[in-house]
């Protein structure tokens, strides 16, 4: 079977290359990207930089406030990741926190008034406006999930409240050995409302553990986070973790964007739908995506025992 498949691929490649000869180019032959903010990414609460070829680093950047999430942060996350989703120069993203910890969660000093001083002439109108505001906050993390570029969370120190909402919307999670995670909302009199209760059970796959964490607000330390499946790797310190996350992102970014982004879109869709629905969606997706030149370029590289990183894929 492998010999037949190889023969078919060689035949396809000969026909493709005879119609359009295009030599493989190496990314290594191209000048490396400077570690500087990409164009149009200027924020108060976020710092965006290009750290590898087609890899962006988004830092929560309020270290003096322990990266607490204020009103500006919620807006800027949507703007930032909507831009990244459309940016053909970015194929993977790493999200981390500046300073001593990933995030302390919601900035209660600033955000408290948003929930207490709700506009409206009566209970119904106040409730309507509060629901609208909550949906806006939910979008701040749903935008990570909807972004077709894989998003890697790199957590050090504490990841509290809204931080768990944030990383639950990411595709891959790394942490340091001193990291801890806490669904803090019950301790401040509310149920987590921007994603944790919806996404975490699907990530961990242990409803009893999720319920325990959500009901008690106890801390989950790094070893338990790894054993439960919340994170896939634990590193000795922040520097080692970031290097590992950047290398992972670079590996992903070096592959066909058609393949990677199509994989993410279908993984998210299949998570929320039945197997038959997911298969139908996949067939419809690939009826066009399988016609990409990336398939031929990748097959040629495989036959020549080259890495996908040695292929110059078109922008997407």
**Does the active-site annotation cover 106?**
yes
Give the pLDDT score at 26. 37
Residues 59, 76, 171, 185: which is the catalytic one? 185
Task: Check 89, 139, 193, 293 and give the catalytic one.
Answer: 193
Tokens 């120190």 appear where? 157
Residue 225 backbone class (left: φ over 0; alpha: ψ -120 to 50; beta: rest) = alpha
Q: Which residues of the chain have pLDDT under 50?
A: 1-6, 8-10, 13, 16-34
- Our answer to whether residue 183 is catalytic in this structure is no
Q: Which of 53, 76, 106, 226 is catalytic?
A: 106
Q: Could you tell me the pTM of the whole model?
A: 0.86
Are domains 28-253 and 255-316 of this chain identical in fold? no
What is the distance, to the nearest Å, from the Cα of residue 94 to the centroid of all Cα atoms in its chain? 7
pLDDT tens sequence across 119-135: 877 889 989 999 999 99
Query: Is 165 one of the annotated active-site residues of the chain?
Result: yes
Q: Say what the pLDDT of residue 117 is.
A: 74
Options 59, 76, 165, 171, the catalytic residue: 165
Choosing from 157, 158, 161, 162, the catalytic residue is 162
| Euclidean distance between CA atoms 38 and 34, whole angstroms | 10
Identify the pLDDT of residue 37.
61
pLDDT tens-digit readout, 276-304: 999 999 999 999 999 999 988 888 888 88
Please tell us whether the domain made up of 255-316 is placed in CATH 1.10.12.10.
yes
Instruction: Provide the residue ranges of all domains of the chain, joining segments of one domain with +.
Output: 28-253, 255-316
> Which CATH code of 3.90.226.10, 3.40.30.10, 3.30.710.10, 3.10.105.10 fits the domain covering 28-253?
3.90.226.10
What are the strands of the beta sheet with 158-160, ordered from one edge? Answer: 158-160, 180-182, 220-221
């Amino acid at each position: 079977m492998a010999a037949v498949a190889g023969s078919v691929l060689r035949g396809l490649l000969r026909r493709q290359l005879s119609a359009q000869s295009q030599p493989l180019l190496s990314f290594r032959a191209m000048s490396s990207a400077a570690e500087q903010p990409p164009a149009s990414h200027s924020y108060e609460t976020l710092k965006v930089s290009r750290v590898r070829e087609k890899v962006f680093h988004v830092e929560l950047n309020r270290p003096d406030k322990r990266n607490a999430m204020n009103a500006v942060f919620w807006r800027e996350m949507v703007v930032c990741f909507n831009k990244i989703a459309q940016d053909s120069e970015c194929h993977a993203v790493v999200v981390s926190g500046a300073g001593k910890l990933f995030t302390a969660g919601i900035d209660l000093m600033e955000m408290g008034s948003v929930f207490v001083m709700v506009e409206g002439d009566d209970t119904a109108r106040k409730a309507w406006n509060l629901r609208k505001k909550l949906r806006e906050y939910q979008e701040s993390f749903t935008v990570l999930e909807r972004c077709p570029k894989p998003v890697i969370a790199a957590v050090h120190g504490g990841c509290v409240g809204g931080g768990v909402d944030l990383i639950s919307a990411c595709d891959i999670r790394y942490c340091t050995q001193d990291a801890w995670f806490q669904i803090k909302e019950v301790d401040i009199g509310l149920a987590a409302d921007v994603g944790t209760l919806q996404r975490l059970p699907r990530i961990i796959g242990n409803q009893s553990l999720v319920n325990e964490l959500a009901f008690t607000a106890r801390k989950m330390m790094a070893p338990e986070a790894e054993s439960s499946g919340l994170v896939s790797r634990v590193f000795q310190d922040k520097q080692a973790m970031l290097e590992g996350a950047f290398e992972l992102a670079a590996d992903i970014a070096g592959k066909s964007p058609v393949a990677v982004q199509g994989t993410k879109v279908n993984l998210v869709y299949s998570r929320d739908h039945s197997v038959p629905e997911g298969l139908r969606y996949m067939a419809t997706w690939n009826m066009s995506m399988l016609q990409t030149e990336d398939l031929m370029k990748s097959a040629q590289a495989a036959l020549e025992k080259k890495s996908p990183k040695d292929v110059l894929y078109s922008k997407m």
